[in-house]
Amino acid sequence: MSWCFTQPVVNFIRSITVFAMVAVVASGCTSVRQYEGPERAASEVSVLRLQRGSGAVINEIDGRFRGIGALDRHEFLPGRHTLAVQFMSAATGFLRFSSVPVRLAFDAKAGRDYVLITRTTPGQTAWTAWIVDVLTDEIVAEPEH
């Protein structure tokens, strides 16, 4: 048995599929502490936020797989931290993830805010990411090669 759908039906099915996948992934949007123990004061931790609409998904932190979720704020204790970041896109009507993560390492400072920024090429065939210190506007992490 074969199925034959008209283009409007195919577009509707794609839209529903993308909406459902984005809803599942976005349901994880929240803040999470990347340290053990009691909550610390803002002056004792650093905060990493994802640039809005970046498509970035952090799936590994300090060598630990943390799953696929669209957490947009992470709190770290001061010190060196490593991230594996993938790019998520629904531009083609299908939810796609980059096949190879970008690896970033940065030295988090207490009381500082950072933002993870991504850029893609036209057609989203390639992408990159880096981390910027919000206070100084300095790039503190670029992809490891």
| pLDDT at residue 132 greater than cutoff 80 | yes
Core vs surface per residue 53-85: b (16+ CB within 10 A) or e? ebbbbbbbbeeeebeebbbbebbbbeeebebbb
* Domain total in the chain: 1
Question: For residue range 13-24, what is the model confidence (pLDDT) as tens digits?
Answer: 555 444 444 444
Question: For residue range 48-79, what is the model confidence (pLDDT) as tens digits?
Answer: 999 887 788 888 999 998 776 667 899 999 99
Cα–Cα distance between 71 and 53 in angstroms, integer? 12
Provide the CA 142 distance to its chain's centre, in angstroms: 15
pLDDT band, residue 4 (cuts 50/70/90): low
Residue 18 included in any domain: yes
pLDDT for the residue 137? 97
Q: Find out whether 59 and 132 touch, Cβ atoms under 8 Å.
A: no
Residue 1 included in any domain: no
Residue 2 included in any domain: no
Domain assignment of residue 75, given as a range? 7-141
